Amino acid sequence: MPKINGNEIRPGNVLEHNGGLWAAVKVDHVKPGKGGAFAQVEMRNLRNGSKLNERFRSADKVEKVRLEQKDQQFLYEDAGMLVLMDTQTYDQVQLSAELLGERRPFLQDGMMVVVEYHEDEALNASLPQKVTCKIVETEPVVKGQTAANSFKPAILDNGVKVMVPPFVGQDEDIIVNTETMEYSERA
């Protein structure tokens, strides 16, 4: 694994630090009036989700880890485990549904998921950025209600509540951003 200087750490980098794998979430470069400059790094543990704030001077060396990304197709869920298939080798793997966290309801049959591996351990999974969902319950559309900043609550077919513009009605398909979990546009 390549070693990088403490001042080369960027958000999104995965580092091996204190025997764990950490993702740099936020990096602030600080130049105090006295003493040398340093990088204040907020990190999240990829295995258990805990957070850590650490200072790295430019002379400090840190192991930068490269995660292998694999496109895998979601097949089904069984007892809290997601069954995914590698599209190159057709091997099936089981991963914990906890890997997706609050984005889990947006997972649909046959959807392609990008899974990040370190050696043979799955550390992260990400869904496509935009997913099409159907609105099953919302207030009726009121003619002439076109205020730009007004939103109304809606319940999607996967049980998730989102805020939608007033012109969107029940049984309509909408596109939801899976990162922000917000309405994006009509489908």
Q: Domain 3-65: give its CATH code.
A: 2.30.30.30
Q: Where does residue 44 rank: exposed (0-12), middle (13-18), buried (19+ CB within 10 A)? A: middle
The residues, ordered by sequence, that sit 6+ positions from 8 with a Cβ below 8 Å of its Cβ are none
Number of Cβ within 10 Å of residue 39's Cβ equals: 22
What is the sign of the dihedral through the CA atoms of 18, 20, 21 and 25? Answer: negative
The CATH homologous superfamily for domain 68-126 is Nucleic acid-binding proteins (2.40.50.140)
- Give the separation between CA 3 and CA 62, rounded to whole angstroms: 5
For the chain, 187 residues long, give each residue's pLDDT as a single digit of tens: 689 998 899 888 889 998 889 988 899 998 888 888 899 999 988 888 889 999 999 889 999 998 899 999 999 998 889 999 998 899 999 998 888 888 889 999 999 999 988 888 888 888 999 999 999 999 887 776 666 678 889 999 999 999 998 888 899 999 999 888 899 998 8
End-to-end CA distance of the chain: 44
Measured in residues, the chain has a length of 187
Topology of domain 130-186 in CATH is OB fold (Dihydrolipoamide Acetyltransferase, E2P) (2.40.50)
- Give residue limits of the domains in the chain: 3-65, 68-126, 130-186
The answer to whether 74 touches 127, Cβ cutoff 8 Å, is no
The distance of Cα 32 from the centroid of its chain, to the nearest Å, equals 34
- The pLDDT of residue 102 is 84
